């Protein structure tokens, strides 16, 4: 497998991203390593080829934003909006992730080994997110579709104004947001959880130690008696 | 029969404060427990372009010959950073309106009309449709807080990208598309269950302040390899600061929408009481650009109540580079047309006043997802009407510009204008007609 290395201390980010936007034929099957990322913003955004990218350190905002197909590994921590609006592929943060991890993402898998900040999975639209640690408040706010798996604890207002996304939590939940409720773990949900734990390197974690949350669907159409919940 | 003298009675007197409309709203609120939701922009009378007049040429200035001397109308948008700026033949663009709020045929008609005269259309909340991309030779793709239908393939297909912070009808507010309009297709595009009320967030999910916006704009540029112009759209509230911050964040173009600008659906109280008229917003916005040395380098598009070529010319004279129309474009397509009066009556309203666009019952087939109603709009004919109207706006603006001696619409300037009212004079910072007085600027 061919490896291409860019040193962000020597090569401008623009050149790196431009290379990562090359035709699929140029990139397919390659591993691109980005050294000395230094927390730079917008590393490896808009990828659309079957390429492995390793960010060898910490990334700033929007790392792997809008990812399609590619497999991006961040060896350090990631700033706000990692894998935002991801469509497909896989993004793996080995450290911590800041706010809005996986925001509005429509597909693919986002794995965060450490904790995630506020609003993890906000407005998610089909992505799967597995957080090895805990998530901050307002996570899965207005989450529309997909699955958020939290091995640690969750902050306040988890799943507020939730639509059809599923949330699996193993630890404590500070509070649930409006219209988010505990659901019985049916077989379909359990299988999804088992699959995601396996894909994210947590195959040894007991799926029965998780609580499933979903939408109570009381806010789907306005009713005056629910006005206080909006 | 009584012989007592008849005492004259005073005529019944309605309260100016509790007028008929106000009282009817109180009764409606009491009966339903929900605020009134409607489409369109502010309906109250506001200081507007009608309060300004042009000073045509005479002895001190000479005019251009109406049919023989050139008066340019083209405009280039996005040449600050983008590798591929947009070149429009007319400075009148079509404002962002969503598929969902509008029917597929309506979006197609907008594309047809705009393309025929060399201008752009803009998507809205809900993503890019093949109807619009197929018919719009220049398409601006909106990047909204909800990110409904947002995907990188469409970003790459767009000719420009508009980061929407707010709009004039509801600055600080999110969107709303009630369940009646969430058809199978709309639901799929927005990844929502069919029939639910769709609430769009008022803030972007992954950034908050202007420093974050700068990074977000850089991300979009990186994704699109710095090809596309990036617009930033704000509702008119604090235009000086918002425009300055948008420029600082790296915008190629700033879109400024006054409170007369329409919405598909928002609370009436929001539409009528939040934001400022476009007349009051243009000069502070232009001032911000001038203070930063960016006037004409970062282009300014203004919208909110543009109706005719005089409005276009006045907006440009105050310093805008282009304008956008929404409500007027829908009227040109056939919205609120008197020939549908009987059907508007059945909906409890009248042609010209119909604004329950969120209910999806539009007899003109424009603001609906009803398959039968939307068939009523012929996108080819409606597109032609829009093209005609856009041509008229452009020609009318040229008529005025030539009369002021200008060889391009962009040569119009505040010096060509006077105001009819003190309010307009203070807001537009042009003298009260017949005087040299600008309240707040010069002594009477």
Closest among A93, A135, A91 to A117, alpha carbons compared = A135
Q: Considering Cα of B285, then B148, then B134, then B181, what sign does the dihedral take?
A: negative
From chain A, the residues in CB contact with B179 under 8 A are 220-221
Per-residue tokens: A24: 């699929």
Closest among B351, B347, B441, B334 to B110, alpha carbons compared = B334
Condensed to tens digits (0 to 9), the pLDDT of residues B168-210 reads 999 999 876 777 777 888 888 888 888 888 778 899 999 999 9
Q: Do A42 and B155 touch (CB under 8 A)?
A: no
Condensed to tens digits (0 to 9), the pLDDT of residues B268-324 reads 999 999 999 999 999 999 999 999 999 999 999 999 999 999 999 999 999 999 999
Model pLDDT, residue A28 = 86
From chain B, the residues in CB contact with A85 under 8 A are 147, 150-152
Q: Where is average pLDDT lowest: A212-221, B243-252, B298-307, B327-336?
A: A212-221
Model pLDDT, residue B1 = 55
Q: In Å, how far is A89's CA from the nearest CA of chain B? A: 14
The CATH number that applies at residue A18 is: 2.160.20.60
C-alpha B331: how far from its chain's center?
13
Residue A15 covered by a domain: yes
Model pLDDT, residue B174 = 82
Q: In Å, how far is B145's CA from the nearest CA of chain A? A: 10
Model pLDDT, residue A152 = 98
Residue A224 covered by a domain: no
Do the beta carbons of residue A131 and residue A110 sit within 8 Å? Answer: no
Residue A75 covered by a domain: yes
Nearest residue in A to B213, CA atom: A61
> Which B residues in the span 202-221 are in contact with A, Cβ-Cβ below 8 Å?
205-207, 212, 215-216, 218-219
Model pLDDT, residue B4 = 84
Domains along the sequence of chain B with CATH: 47-428 (3.20.20.70)
B287 secondary structure, DSSP code: H
Do the beta carbons of residue A173 and residue A152 sit within 8 Å? Answer: no
Q: In Å, how far is B189's CA from the nearest CA of chain A? A: 11
Q: Do A125 and B147 touch (CB under 8 A)?
A: yes
Residue A170 covered by a domain: yes
Residue A136 covered by a domain: yes
Q: Do B199 and A161 touch (CB under 8 A)?
A: yes
SS3 B34: coil
Q: Do B147 and A81 touch (CB under 8 A)?
A: no
Range of the domain at A25: 3-219
Residue A229 covered by a domain: no
Q: Do A123 and B201 touch (CB under 8 A)?
A: yes
Condensed to tens digits (0 to 9), the pLDDT of residues B364-387 reads 999 999 999 999 999 999 999 999
From chain A, the residues in CB contact with B178 under 8 A are 222
Do the beta carbons of residue B308 and residue B332 sit within 8 Å? Answer: no
CA distance B142 to B432: 39
Backbone angles phi and psi of B87, in degrees to 5: -120, 110
Q: Do A103 and B152 touch (CB under 8 A)?
A: no
Alpha-carbon torsion angle A108, A109, A115, A121, nearest 10: 30
From chain A, the residues in CB contact with B214 under 8 A are none
Per-residue tokens: A6: 């860019």
Condensed to tens digits (0 to 9), the pLDDT of residues B210-242 reads 999 999 999 999 999 999 999 999 999 999 999
CA distance B135 to A169: 47
Quote the number of domains for chain A. Answer: 1
Q: In Å, how far is A4's CA from the nearest CA of chain B? A: 20
Q: In Å, how far is A101's CA from the nearest CA of chain B? A: 8
Closest Cβ opposite residue A87 in set B152, B205, B216? B152
Q: What is the DSSP string of B47-71?
A: --GGGEEE---SSSS-PPPTTTS--
Residue A144 sits at the chain B interface (C-beta within 8 Å): yes
Instruction: Enumerate residue ranges in chain A where pLDDT < 50.
Output: none
CA distance B106 to B249: 34
Half-sphere exposure of B58 (CA within 13 A, CB side): 4
Condensed to tens digits (0 to 9), the pLDDT of residues B25-63 reads 999 999 988 889 999 999 999 999 999 999 999 999 899
The three state secondary structure string of chain A is: CCEEEEECCCCCHHHHHHHHCCCHHHHCCCEEEEECCCCCCCCCCCCCCCCEEEEECCECCCCCCCCCCCEEEECCCECCCCCCCCCCCEEEECCCECCCCCCCCCCCEEEECCCECCCCCCCCEEEEEEECCCECCCCCCCCCEEEEEECCCECCCECCCCCCCEEEECCCECCECCCEEEECCCHHHHHHHHHHHHHCCCCCCCHHHCEEEEECCCCCCCCHHHHHHC
From chain A, the residues in CB contact with B218 under 8 A are 41-42
Q: Where is average pLDDT lowest: B17-26, B30-39, B414-423?
A: B30-39
Non-local (6+) Cβ contacts of B115 within 8 A are B135, B136, B137, B138
CA distance B381 to A197: 56
Residue A123 covered by a domain: yes
Residue A226 covered by a domain: no
Residue A89 sits at the chain B interface (C-beta within 8 Å): no
């Amino acid at each position: 497998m061919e490896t291409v290395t860019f040193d962000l201390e020597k090569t401008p980010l623009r050149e790196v991203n431009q290379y990562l936007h090359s035709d699929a034929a140029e990139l397919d099957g390659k591993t691109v390593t980005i050294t000395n990322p230094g927390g730079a913003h917008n590393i490896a955004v808009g990828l659309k080829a079957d390429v492995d990218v390793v960010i060898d350190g910490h990334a700033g905002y929007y790392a792997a934003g809008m990812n399609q197909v590619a497999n991006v590994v961040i060896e350090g921590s990631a700033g706000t909006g990692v894998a935002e609006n991801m469509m497909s592929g896989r993004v793996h943060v080995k450290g911590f992730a800041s706010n809005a991890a996986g925001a509005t993402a429509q597909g693919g898998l986002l794995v965060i080994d450490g904790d995630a900040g506020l609003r993890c999975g906000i407005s998610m639209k089909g992505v799967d997110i597995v957080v090895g640690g805990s998530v901050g408040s307002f996570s899965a706010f207005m989450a529309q579709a997909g699955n958020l798996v939290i091995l640690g604890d969750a902050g306040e207002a988890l799943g507020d104004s939730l639509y059809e996304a599923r949330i699996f939590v193993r630890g404590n939940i500070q509070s649930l947001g409006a219209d988010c409720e505990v659901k019985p773990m049916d077989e379909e949900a359990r299988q999804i959880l088992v699959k995601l734990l396996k894909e994210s390197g947590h195959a040894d974690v007991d799926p029965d130690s998780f609580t499933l949350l979903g939408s109570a669907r009381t806010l789907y159409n306005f009713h005056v008696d629910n006005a206080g919940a909006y | 029969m009584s012989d007592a003298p008849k005492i004259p009675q005073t005529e019944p007197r309605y309260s100016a404060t509790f007028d008929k409309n106000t009282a009817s709203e109180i009764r409606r609120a009491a009966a339903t427990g929900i605020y009134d939701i409607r489409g369109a922009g502010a309906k109250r009378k506001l200081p507007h372009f009608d309060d300004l007049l042009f000073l045509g040429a005479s002895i001190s200035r000479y005019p251009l010959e109406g049919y023989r001397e050139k008066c340019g109308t083209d405009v280039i948008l996005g040449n600050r950073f983008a590798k591929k700026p947009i070149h429009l033949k007319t400075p009148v663009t079509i404002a962002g309106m969503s598929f969902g709020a509008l029917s597929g045929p309506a979006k197609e008609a907008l594309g047809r009309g705009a393309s025929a005269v060399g201008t752009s259309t803009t998507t809205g909340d809900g993503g890019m449709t093949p109807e619009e991309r197929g018919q719009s030779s220049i398409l601006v793709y909106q990047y909204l807080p909800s990110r409904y239908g947002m995907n990188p393939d469409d970003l790459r297909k767009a000719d420009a990208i508009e980061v929407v912070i707010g709009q004039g009808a509801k600055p600080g507010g999110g969107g709303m598309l009630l369940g009646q309009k969430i058809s199978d297709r709309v639901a799929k595009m927005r990844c929502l269950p069919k029939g639910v009320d769709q609430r769009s967030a008022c803030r972007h999910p992954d950034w908050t302040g202007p420093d974050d916006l700068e990074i977000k704009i850089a991300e979009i540029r990186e994704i699109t390899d710095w090809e596309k112009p990036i617009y930033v759209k704000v509702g008119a509230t604090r235009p000086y600061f918002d425009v300055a911050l948008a420029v600082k964040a790296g915008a190629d173009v700033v879109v400024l929408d006054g409170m007369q600008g329409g919405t598909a659906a928002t609370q009436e109280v929001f539409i009528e009481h939040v934001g400022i008229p476009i007349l009051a917003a243009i000069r502070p916005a232009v001032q911000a650009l001038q203070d930063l040395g960016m006037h004409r380098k970062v282009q300014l598009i203004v919208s909110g109540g543009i109706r005719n070529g005089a409005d276009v010319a006045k907006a440009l004279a105050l310093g805008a580079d282009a304008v956008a129309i929404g409500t007027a474009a829908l009227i040109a397509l056939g919205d609120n047309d008197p020939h549908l009066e009987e059907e508007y009556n059945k909906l409890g309203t009248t042609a010209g006043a119909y604004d329950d666009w969120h209910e999806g019952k539009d007899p003109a087939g424009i603001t609906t997802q009803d398959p039968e109603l939307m068939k009523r709009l012929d996108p080819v004919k409606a597109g032609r009407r829009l093209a005609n109207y856009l041509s008229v706006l452009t020609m009318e603006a040229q008529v005025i510009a030539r009369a002021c001696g200008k060889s391009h619409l962009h040569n119009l300037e505040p010096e060509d204008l006077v105001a009819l009212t003190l309010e307009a004079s203070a807001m537009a910072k042009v003298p009260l007609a017949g005087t040299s007085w600008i309240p707040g600027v010069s002594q009477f």
